[in-house]
Amino acid sequence: MLNRLTRTASIFKRFSSNMSEQAAAATAAGASAKNASKKSKLQVSLKTPKGTKDWADTDMVIREAIFNTLSNIFKRHGGVTIDTPVFELREILAGKYGEDSKLIYDLKDQGGELCSLRYDLTVPFARYVAMNNIQNIKRYHIAKVYRRDQPAMTKGRMREFYQCDFDIAGAYESMVPDAECLSILVEGLTGLGINDFKIKLNHRKILDGIFQIAGVSDEDVRKISSAVDKLDKSPWDVVKKEITEEKGQSEETANKIGEYVKLNGSLQEVYDKLNSDPEIVANEKATQGLADIATLIKYADAFGIDKFISFDLSLARGLDYYTGLIYEAVTSASAPPKNATELKKKSKEDEDASAYVGVGSIAAGGRYDNLVNMFAEASGKKSVQIPCVGISFGVERIFSLVKQRAAAAAAIKPTATQVFVMAFGGGKDWTGYLPERMKVTKQLWNAGIEAEYVYKAKANPRKQFDAADKSGCPLAVILGKEEYLENKLRVKRLGPEFADDDGELIDANELIPIIKEKLSQVHQDGVNEVTRLIRGL
Q: How far is the CB of 157 from its own copies (least distance, A)?
A: 15
Question: What CA–CA distances, in Å, run from 468 to 400, 412, 465, 476, 522?
Answer: 30, 15, 5, 8, 16
Q: How far is the CB of 82 from its own copies (least distance, A)?
A: 4
Q: How far is the CB of 221 from its own copies (least distance, A)?
A: 12
Distance CA 320, CA 507 (A): 69
Q: How far is the CB of 158 from its own copies (least distance, A)?
A: 9
- Tell me if 322 is assigned to a ligand binding site: yes
Pick the closer one to its own copies by CB: 350 or 500.
350
Distance CA 225, CA 493 (A): 63
Pick the closer one to its own copies by CB: 240 or 413.
413
Residue 536: DSSP 8-state: T
Residue 97: DSSP 8-state: S
- Amino acid present at 340: A
Distance CA 494, CA 467 (A): 12
- Tell me if 90 is assigned to a ligand binding site: no
Question: What CA–CA distances, in Å, run from 501 to 53, 165, 461, 497, 498?
Answer: 44, 50, 15, 9, 5
Q: How far is the CB of 19 from its own copies (least distance, A)?
A: 7
Got the DSSP string for 482-507? HHHHTTEEEEEE-SGGGTT---EEEE
Q: How far is the CB of 56 from its own copies (least distance, A)?
A: 4
- Tell me if 167 is assigned to a ligand binding site: yes
Q: How far is the CB of 523 from its own copies (least distance, A)?
A: 15
Residue partners of 521: CB distance under 8 A and separation at least 6:
none
Distance CA 180, CA 187 (A): 10
Pick the closer one to its own copies by CB: 67 or 236.
67
148 neighbors 105 (Cβ within 8 angstroms): yes
Provide the 3-class DSSP secondary structure of residue 140. strand
Using CB atoms within 10 Å of the CB of residue 283, give its burial: 0 to 12 exposed, 13 to 18 middle, 19+ buried. buried
Q: In what order do the strands lie in the sheet with 475-480?
A: 451-453, 419-424, 475-480, 488-493, 504-507
- Tell me if 122 is assigned to a ligand binding site: yes
Pick the closer one to its own copies by CB: 54 or 482.
54
Pick the closer one to its own copies by CB: 380 or 427.
380
Pick the closer one to its own copies by CB: 6 or 524.
6
Q: How far is the CB of 258 from its own copies (least distance, A)?
A: 28
- Tell me if 52 is assigned to a ligand binding site: no
Pick the closer one to its own copies by CB: 30 or 427.
30
390 neighbors 167 (Cβ within 8 angstroms): yes
Pick the closer one to its own copies by CB: 58 or 361.
58
Q: By C-alpha distance, which of 372, 292, 282, 291 is closest to 327? A: 292
Pick the closer one to its own copies by CB: 311 or 433.
433
Distance CA 18, CA 152 (A): 47
Distance CA 510, CA 493 (A): 17
Q: How far is the CB of 93 from its own copies (least distance, A)?
A: 10
The binding site consists of 120-122, 147, 163, 167, 317, 321-322
The binding site for L-histidine consists of 120-122, 147, 163, 167, 317, 321-322
